[in-house]
Structure 1
Amino acid sequence: MTAFDRSERLTWAGRGAAYAASFARLCAYPVPALLDIAGVGPGVRVLDVGTGPGTVAAQACARDARVTATDADPGMVELAAQAAPGAELCVGALPRLPFAEATFDTVIANFVLNHVGSPRAALAELRRVLRPGGRVALTIWAAPPAPGQALLGRAIQAAGAVRPPHLPTGLAPEEDFPRNESGLAALLASAGLHATACETLRWDHRVTATEWWSGPAAGVAFTGQMVVGQPPHTQAEIKHHFDILSTEFTDTQGMLTLPHAALLAGARR
């Protein structure tokens, strides 16, 4: 396990409910497309890796698939069990999953590669548990980030926040890759997977400012750790700049309309 992985475990521990109430609805947007690319239907053996609150697992169960879901955080597994009672749930984390080789027809990883220290090793493990000819479907945030995704980071930067010592600066250079369509396709190939689709999804996420701020205020994800890792006066400054910058995205109904972009990829073993 890398330092990046250890930081991710600490970041997400105990924050399942806060994530479900803030960023989970955003991350649910690509799920129907993921299931379509993965060919999820009746009887298909599906593994949902990094299930979080169980959004993918629940929608795969609704298609009558045979669903197994796993997450590194026990609290997330509990939430997923409530959302997808028809799925088999367990605690497990990349790059070593508790499943035999060639167990599944398809593996889905919705915004999971953002949270692993070795994306190539993670993909190699997804390939291992996939049957020959089986499908992988995944998403990852694009870079540079779309304007809506960058809002919180802009507020943190404007407040002069300093990175807390427990947060790594990023992946090791040899592990990183371009967060664009060609970069993701090349990463899949390096793990022995054959890309069948790679595209950029763009959508506007409509949310109240209160909901959007609730995630970082509770320490959810990297931006949340940046916020809660500051002294109180800096946290107040971040919120102040967030309120100012949010006006750029506020519509006539008082809602934020936040443009986002993610990479969606499908591949075969």
Structure 2
Amino acid sequence: MTSFDEHERRRWAGRAEAYVGSFARLCAYPADALLDAAGARAGARLLDVGTGPGTVAALAAGRGAAVTAVDAEPSMVSWARKSGLEGRCALAALPRLPFPAAAFDAAVANFVVNHVGDPAAAVAELRRVVRPGGHVAVTLWPHPQPPLQQLWGRVYEAAGGPPRPDLPRVADAKNVARTPDGIVGLLRGAGLDAVRCETLSWVHRADPEDWWAGPANGIGHLGHLLADAPDALCRRVREEYDRLTADHLDADGLLALPTAALLGWGRVGCP
């Protein structure tokens, strides 16, 4: 693993329950479009990599697909198994999956490539385990960030947080632009054909307390910054969160902010 991969493992260790109670619904939004792009249908052998609590895998199983799901985080695997994927979910991580070549009709990775230190190697591994004529589909968060994701940086800066520490990053030589063109290039570079990428845009609505629960439980960049922060800074950050979100509450009191995701997919060509 790269230093970035190791950092991601530490950040997510034991956080399945916190994720389910905060950011899971946001990440579930593209699930149907992701499965459509992968051609997930009844009888298809589908691999869901980075399944988290099993949201995409369960949806695919509901379509009648023969689902196998894996995740790098043990707490996510345990949660997915308890949620109905017992016997179909195992511990495994990109870029090395414990499956033979061409074992599946399709592979999907929902917001997983954002969390790996070598995106090209990760997509190449997804391609390896899919048969010729099958499809690989992935979602990523775009950059520049949409308003919803920008909120955390605005909150931290408004609270007067100290300069953010340098955290492990994907090496420049291995990184990819989080844009439609960047994702098309990533998928083509992995050897996929008929590659496409589209931007999915929507307004995410969440209870402000549920949304705050993400960083409050150590999830995301703000969660990392607050993990060892003084109590006074944590209080100021929460105060600024309440202040800045007040202008974005809808009639039901839900936080409503625009966001977006990149959906890229391609076909595995014949040898």
Report if the CA contact (8 A) 2:136-2:265 is conserved.
yes
Partner of 2:239: 240
Match of 2:180 in 1: 181
Q: Does 1:58 align with 2:65?
A: no
Separation in 2, partners of 1:261, 1:248 = 20
Report which stretch shifted further, 109-118 or 155-164: 155-164
The Cα shift of 1:189 comes to 1.1
For residues 111 and 209 of structure 2, the distance between their equivalents in structure 1, rounded to whole angstroms, comes to: 23
| Displacement of 1:86 | 6.4
- Cα distance, 1:65 vs structure 2: 0.6
Give the AA of the match of 1:3.
S
Deviations, residues 205-254 of structure 1 (Å, cap 9, x unaligned): 11111010001000013331122232222212211211111123112322
SS in 2 for 1:84: helix
- Structure 1 residues 233 and 177, CA gap change in structure 2 (3 angstroms): same
Corresponding residue for 2:155? 155
- 2:116 maps to 1:109: no
The unaligned stretches of length 5 or more in structure 1 are none
Taking the aligned partners of 2:38 and 2:179, their CA distance within structure 1 comes to 20
- For residues 178 and 165 of structure 2, the distance between their equivalents in structure 1, rounded to whole angstroms, comes to 25
Q: Residue 245 of structure 1 aligns to a residue in which SS?
A: helix
In 2, the alpha carbon distance for the partners of 1:41 and 1:86 equals 21
Conserved? CA contact 1:227–1:235, under 8 Å: yes
Q: Is the 8 A contact 1:50 1:69 kept in 2?
A: yes
Number of the residue aligned with 1:136: 136
Quote the offset at 1:84 in angstroms. 3.2
**8 Å contact kept, 1:61–1:87:** no
Which residue of structure 2 lines up, in the alignment, with residue 191 of structure 1?
190
Q: Is the 8 A contact 1:69 1:87 kept in 2?
A: no
Q: TM-score, normalised by structure 2?
A: 0.94
**What is the Cα-based RMSD across aligned positions, in Å?**
1.4
Structure 1 segments (4+ residues) deviating >6 Å = none
1:145 is paired with a residue whose SS is: coil
Q: Is the 8 A contact 2:187 2:265 kept in 1?
A: no
Match of 2:259 in 1: 260
Alignment-derived partner of residue 251 in structure 1: 250
Gapped regions of structure 2 (runs ≥ 5):
none
Amino acid at match of 2:124: A
In the alignment, what sits opposite 1:95? 95
Query: Hey, what does 2:225 align to over in structure 1?
Result: 226
The secondary structure found in structure 2 opposite 1:27 is helix
1 CA distance for matches of 2:165 and 2:150? 19
Distance 1:143 1:84 in 2: 34
Asked if the contact 1:164/1:229 (under 8 Å) is kept, the reply is: no
Name the SS of the counterpart of 1:178 in structure 2: coil
Q: Is contact 1:48-1:108 (8 Å) kept? A: yes
Q: How many Å separate the matches in 2 of 1:101 and 1:225? A: 37
Report the number of matched residues. 267
In the alignment, which residue of structure 1 is the partner of 2:70? 70
Q: Distance in 1 between matches of 2:229 and 2:162?
A: 7
The one-letter code matched in structure 1 to 2:253 is G
Alpha-carbon distance in structure 2 between the residues aligned to 1:86 and 1:46: 16
- Counterpart residue identity of residue 163, structure 1: R
Partner of 2:42: 42
Residues 124 and 207 of structure 1: is their aligned pair in 2 closer, same or farther, counting only changes over 3 Å?
A: same
